[in-house]
Amino acid sequence: MASKKLSPVPAGSAAPYVPVSGDFELLGNRDLQTDTNFASQSYWKGVFVHFFKNRRAVVGLVIIAVIILLAIIGPLMNSYGYRDIIQYRNDQNRRVVAKAVPPRVPWIHQLFTGEPYDDAFADRTFIFGTDDLGRDLWTRTWHGTRVSLLVAFVTIAIDVIIGMSFGLVSGYFGGVTDNLMQRFVEIANSVPRLVIVSVLAIFMPKGMGLVIVALLLTEWIGMSKIARAEMLKIKEQEYVLASRTLGADSAHIIFREILPNTIGPIITQMMFSIPTAIFTEAFLSFVGVGIVLPQCSIGTLIEEGFNNITILPYQILPPIIVLALLMLGFNFIGDGLREALAPKLEDM
């Protein structure tokens, strides 16, 4: 491969030559053509217009908006609180609990069968049914969505802020910097999460804060690896060389020149780190270092439903479907963003 000396200062020279203004002269007013298509709108405005022209991206945005809306108002749409056990006392002073009731809407049942339910909770509506403790799953699903949405957005932030920067910087500088940074990744990734989070739990109150710290510890690693790989691939390309020759500093090259060209795999990676993070939260909660009962999240609801999956599959379906829709929405938005952020020539 051809040798490329990129250093702005030739080796061996005593001191860099400092140009003075007299070295340059103005060529005068040349007849420059400006592409109106590019100049007519700013970059971000272009992204915006492009994004909203994409039908799937808009659908994705609507899905996420609806889920967020339901997470806010869903639990208010009936009279049950997320921790209310639906129960009453019978004649023998024993408690009857509406536990593990399959989904029911009395008037629909009446419509199809012509008769009401014949049990103690005949007039109650449970759109998603109830859980093993006798709590309404509709309320709990949307209540849990709040936690999982928070986890999703925190993960995106961790991916973008820590993961991406770490990977890009590591890949760009290479050599000793890369070596040290990658060994750090290996160490961070090698201590089992359960061990490190248990230790952290000694110093921190258990709950959402600890979950976020746990995510901060390792959730960025996948993204950093992708960003580094992309950086390694792109940094040797001619336009980077050109930019560097023009005197651009590292930060400019990394974040303005290279980043837009790595956006594809970065967005894909971001999408796939969300469900992983949501299940990580559920695992942490199960072992007692995450959110505590009777709080819930999509992940913990899936785990609870899993216990009854063969006989009461309705319990696991709502959280899984909400998660799938959430992912569908994020993926559509991600695809739209990718196309909008790195427009190809024919899209102009």
Restricting to residues 198-257, which ones interact with another protein according to CB under 8 A? 198-199, 201-202, 206, 221-222, 225-226, 228-230, 232-233, 235-237
- Piece in contact with another protein (CB under 8 A), picked from 30-38, 63-71, 126-134, 155-163: 126-134
For residues 301-330, which are near another protein according to CB under 8 A? 302, 306-312, 316, 320, 323-324, 327-328
Least separation, in Å, of the C-beta of 73 and another protein?
A: 24
- φ, ψ (nearest 5 deg) of residue 273: -80, -15
Q: Which is nearer to another protein, 12 or 22 (CB)?
A: 12
Among 66, 77, 122, 191, binds another protein (CB under 8 A): 191
Q: Which is nearer to another protein, 40 or 119 (CB)?
A: 119
103 φψ region: left (φ > 0), alpha (ψ -120 to 50), beta (else): beta
Q: Which residues of 217-229 are buried (b: 16+ CB within 10 A; e: fewer)?
A: bbbbbbbbbbbbe
Least separation, in Å, of the C-beta of 202 and another protein?
A: 7
Indicate the residue type of 328: L
Environment class of 163 (CB within 10 Å of its CB; exposed 0-12, middle 13-18, buried 19+): buried
* Helix (H) or strand (E) run with residue 87 in it: strand 87-89
Among 68, 100, 120, 156, binds another protein (CB under 8 A): 100
Q: Which is nearer to another protein, 61 or 232 (CB)?
A: 232
For residues 261-280, which are near another protein according to CB under 8 A? 264-265, 268-269, 271-272, 275-276, 279
For residues 60-79, which are near another protein according to CB under 8 A? none
Tokens 């009962």: give the residue. 293
Q: Which is nearer to another protein, 40 or 306 (CB)?
A: 306
For residues 155-184, which are near another protein according to CB under 8 A? 172-179, 182-183
Least separation, in Å, of the C-beta of 244 and another protein?
A: 8
Give CA–CA dist 79/33, Å, rounded: 67
What does DSSP assign to residue 126? B
Q: Is residue 120 at the binding interface for another protein, with CB under 8 A as the rule?
A: no
By CB under 8 A, the count of residues binding another protein is: 84
**One symbol per residue from 16 to 55: x for binding another protein (CB under 8 A), - otherwise; what is it?**
----------------------------------------
Closest by alpha carbon to 86, among 131, 156, 27, 134? 134
Among 12, 19, 36, 94, binds another protein (CB under 8 A): 94
Least separation, in Å, of the C-beta of 27 and another protein?
A: 31
CB–CB of 296/140 below 8 Å?
A: yes
Q: DSSP string of 19-39?
A: P-GGG------------HHHH
Among 118, 192, 247, 249, binds another protein (CB under 8 A): 192
Among 70, 97, 157, 181, binds another protein (CB under 8 A): 97
Closest by alpha carbon to 132, among 287, 342, 244, 296? 296
- C-alpha torsion sign, points 245, 249, 250, 252: negative
The answer for residues whose C-beta is within 8 angstroms of residue 116's C-beta and 6 or more apart is: 106, 109, 110, 122, 123
Q: Which is nearer to another protein, 162 or 320 (CB)?
A: 320
Q: Which is nearer to another protein, 25 or 346 (CB)?
A: 346
CB–CB of 242/301 below 8 Å?
A: no
Least separation, in Å, of the C-beta of 245 and another protein?
A: 12
Give CA–CA dist 140/136, Å, rounded: 6
